[in-house]
Amino acid sequence: MAAGLAVVLGACNSSKKSDVADAAPNPFFTEYTTPFGVPPFDKIEVAHYKPAFEKGMEEQKKEIDAIVNNPEEPTFENTIVALDRSGELLTKVMYAFSGQSSVNTTDEIQALEQELYPVLSAHSDDISLNPALFTRVKVVYDKQASMNLNKEQKKLLEETYKGFVRGGANLDADKQARLRELNEKISVLELTFGQNVLKETNAFKLVVDNKEDLAGLPESLIAAAAETAAADSMEGKWIFTLHNPSVMPFLQYADNRALREKIFKAYINRGNNSNGNDNKNVVKELVAARLDKAKLLGYEDFAAFVLDENMAKNEKNVYNLLDQIWTPALKKAKEELADINAEIKKEGGDFEAEGWDWRYYADKARQAKFNMDENEVRPYLELNHVREGAFYVANKLYGITFTEIKDIPKPDPDAFAFECKDKDGSSLGVLYMDFYTRPGKGGGAWCGGYRDQSYKDGKKVLPVVTTVFNFSKPAAGQPALLSADEAETVFHEFGHALHGLFADVHYTGVAGVPRDFVELPSQVMEHWVFEPEVLKVYAKHYQTGEVIPQELVDKIVKSSKYGQGFATVEYLAASLLDMDYHTLKEQLSGMDIEAFEAEAMNKRGLIRQIPPRYRTTYFGHTMEGGYTAGYYSYIWAEVLDADAFEAYKETGDIFNPEVASKFRKNVLTPGGIDDAMDMYKNFRGKEPGIEPLLKNRGLK
């Protein structure tokens, strides 16, 4: 579809005018004059967004009208390229708005989202359901054999035509009207779901006022909890939250079982508290609307509609992969549960483990088996060192460098900015890294952008990429020490960033890759995190500068597969839940969300101590629209990344320059010009197998 719609997920149409401060010129209405042309975050006010959206939609409408009313015969340039280039202002404001609303949202921004997203959805439909525009696109599509198009141009034409068909262009007027209603409803429900989860996450506070209740917790976590309490006018107390850097280590280390139970139950019941932020009815309406949309477009269910664009192609292939891994993973998880219950008995406990016990006693079991305490590792994983480790790996593989930029607008004052340069010294773009959790930031970690790579007037426009994390901000004067999992997260999101920085395509419409391929560049980077050669470069004690001892490296390697039963099962459970919702082929009258989830898990034998990684009412990956019928993508891509890393290992050099060059050329650079499996085979020379994945996870 059109350039502006690739990031808008909907788009809009409004005749209302909004008030904006006369004293503050709207920065969206002129070229950015900032270094590297990044958004002037310090000058953008909330009041600037709505008029910029309105003008952006108005301009794109005029551009579409110009294409439709062009008296000349439709051609690739005057129709397909013109459509791809349309919506420049809309894209510009959408990047800034979506980026900032995810990392620094406010009540005012959330209200604006609720107002704008239905309008944006209508604008998107005005384009995809424009019959005269589709007629011109079809004329070009039908005569492509007579055109001298290159591979990228052919792909753009194919994707543009397919986008119109999938957008309802072939439906009759009544069905198109219904599709508009469904698209608007879906966009609002997805937005509401995400806002509810953030409110639920921020609403809970576990306040500890007895120092004895802190037993077992690392000093860094205690200090962070004290600062959180002080910021909330509770000096002398400690506050733990449902943000992952707080709740997960609490569950892993807190000796107080009653408090572990309290915070665990609060975590797994977000959006399921029958209050104003409850998501059960939101999910019911959303699943129903998605099914209606799929059937309207000729698909038997919503998963079929989604997977038609993915590598997996159909739901049978997805379930086959998940089921292959489920059986050995569940077996391994039950073995881990036996270890956990043995640890409980060893301590004299007379109870069987529950969900709030798993991380706590699994940590003890790991220590017993491998003499491995994660807190031994943290001092060697100081955040800045881990970041430099990721930069080191990229330099060794591709010859690129990262230099910090000080004097540049940032998405948040705590964020860092870097210029990425290629090995020939040419600039590849800007990378932001936003590390610390805060109330206005969405949960989890992700990679986004404030500008994608493109070409304008024949000149390459460099990308502005952002990686976002939710690590606990350290207490004043203290370092940010990461867990092993958090270190992997830095490398993971950095892998996504490299994908964005290396991109080199001429058309927006071919920039994207299938959802189940997009995790390959990120997940393959994780393989270098704990390679001994890499650890010796970046894993240095934050106080002494001592390189991590080989003995500790050996412990990391030996213990790395322990706990994969739990990790794999909780992930697969969420993936299966996502698929089960979106392979429904008929509406379930009076659908009970809790019962549906329970049945989905019970029929596969999920043990009660392991809830899905994301339960329904806070499962943002699927319910907010990013990974709908696509959460399986992480494990699908893991088949690819495990096999891809074997290509390096087979040469005896994990930094083999020839392999890295092939990976960059065939996977990281071409966007979606080639079929995803063809891209992989162009790199690897063959299709991947599942064996390396099972081996890496210790499931075989």
- Inform me whether the pLDDT recorded for 317 exceeds 60: yes
- Inform me whether the pLDDT recorded for 17 exceeds 60: no
Predicted local distance difference test score (pLDDT) of residue 4: 34
- The domain spanning residue 159 has which CATH number? 1.20.1050.40
Mean pLDDT of 435-462: 95
Mean pLDDT of 592-616: 98
Mean pLDDT of 112-127: 97
**Domain ends where: 480, 512, 544?**
512
DSSP 442: P
d(CA 166, CA 181): 16
Predicted local distance difference test score (pLDDT) of residue 5: 34
Same domain, 412 and 459: yes
Confirm whether 1 is domain-assigned.
Answer: no
Cα torsion at 567, 573, 574, 579 (round to 10°)?
A: 140
Cα–Cα distance list, 586 to 289, 302, 657 (Å): 11, 11, 52
Same domain, 61 and 116: yes
628 within 8 A of 318, measured Cβ to Cβ: no
* Total count of residues recorded for the chain: 700
Predicted local distance difference test score (pLDDT) of residue 694: 87
Mean pLDDT of 77-106: 97
What percent of the chain clears pLDDT 90, i.e. is strictly above it?
A: 90
Mean pLDDT of 327-345: 97
Burial 533-570 (b: 16+ CB within 10 A, else e): ebbeebbbebeeeeebeeebbebbeebbebbbbbbbbb
Same domain, 108 and 226: no
**Domain ends where: 512, 529, 552?**
512
Confirm whether 368 is domain-assigned.
Answer: no
What percent of the chain clears pLDDT 70, i.e. is strictly above it?
A: 97
Per DSSP, the chain holds a count of helices (H) and strands (E) of: 28, 9
- Inform me whether the pLDDT recorded for 488 exceeds 50: yes
Confirm whether 316 is domain-assigned.
Answer: no
Give the residue from 555, 574, 527 showing the smallest Cα distance to 696: 527
DSSP 168-191: TTTS-HHHHHHHHHHHHHHHHHHH
Give the residue from 533, 190, 541 showing the smallest Cα distance to 379: 541
Predicted local distance difference test score (pLDDT) of residue 560: 85
Same domain, 383 and 508: yes
d(CA 261, CA 239): 16
Confirm whether 283 is domain-assigned.
Answer: no
Which positions are catalytic? 493
Sign of CA dihedral 498, 499, 501, 503: positive
Same domain, 159 and 231: no
- How much of the chain is helix, strand and coil, in % rounded to 5? 60, 5, 35
Confirm whether 591 is domain-assigned.
Answer: no
Q: Using 50, 70 and 90 to split pLDDT, how confident is the model at 440?
A: very high
Number of domains in the chain: 3
Mean pLDDT lowest among 278-282, 396-400, 585-589: 585-589
Q: What interhelical angle do 633-649 and 676-684 show, nearest 10? A: 20
Predicted local distance difference test score (pLDDT) of residue 118: 96
Same domain, 131 and 234: no
pTM value is 0.92
- Inform me whether the pLDDT recorded for 14 exceeds 50: no
Predicted local distance difference test score (pLDDT) of residue 422: 98
Give the residue from 431, 430, 432, 467 showing the smallest Cα distance to 446: 467
Confirm whether 589 is domain-assigned.
Answer: no
Same domain, 152 and 94: yes
Same domain, 387 and 508: yes
Same domain, 216 and 136: no
Q: Using 50, 70 and 90 to split pLDDT, how confident is the model at 159?
A: very high
Cα–Cα distance list, 689 to 580, 630, 643, 699 (Å): 25, 20, 7, 15
Predicted local distance difference test score (pLDDT) of residue 20: 41
- Inform me whether the pLDDT recorded for 511 exceeds 60: yes
Predicted local distance difference test score (pLDDT) of residue 375: 86
- The domain spanning residue 454 has which CATH number? 3.40.390.10
Cα–Cα distance list, 210 to 65, 125, 213, 239, 256 (Å): 68, 57, 6, 12, 11
Amino acid symbol at 635: I
Predicted local distance difference test score (pLDDT) of residue 588: 83
Q: Is 18 exposed, middle or buried (0-12, 13-18, 19+ CB in 10 A)?
A: middle
428 within 8 A of 453, measured Cβ to Cβ: no
**Domain ends where: 268, 290, 324?**
268
Domain of residue 490: give its range: 379-512
Q: How many CB atoms lie within 10 A of CB 217?
A: 21
Same domain, 158 and 234: no
Confirm whether 520 is domain-assigned.
Answer: no
Q: 627 phi and psi, to 5 degrees?
A: -125, 40
Predicted local distance difference test score (pLDDT) of residue 470: 95
- Inform me whether the pLDDT recorded for 11 exceeds 50: no
Which neighbouring-strand residues pair with 436?
471
Confirm whether 451 is domain-assigned.
Answer: yes
Predicted local distance difference test score (pLDDT) of residue 319: 98
Q: 587 phi and psi, to 5 degrees?
A: -65, 140
Same domain, 221 and 148: no
Mean of the per-residue pLDDT values of the chain: 94
Same domain, 423 and 494: yes
d(CA 322, CA 209): 45
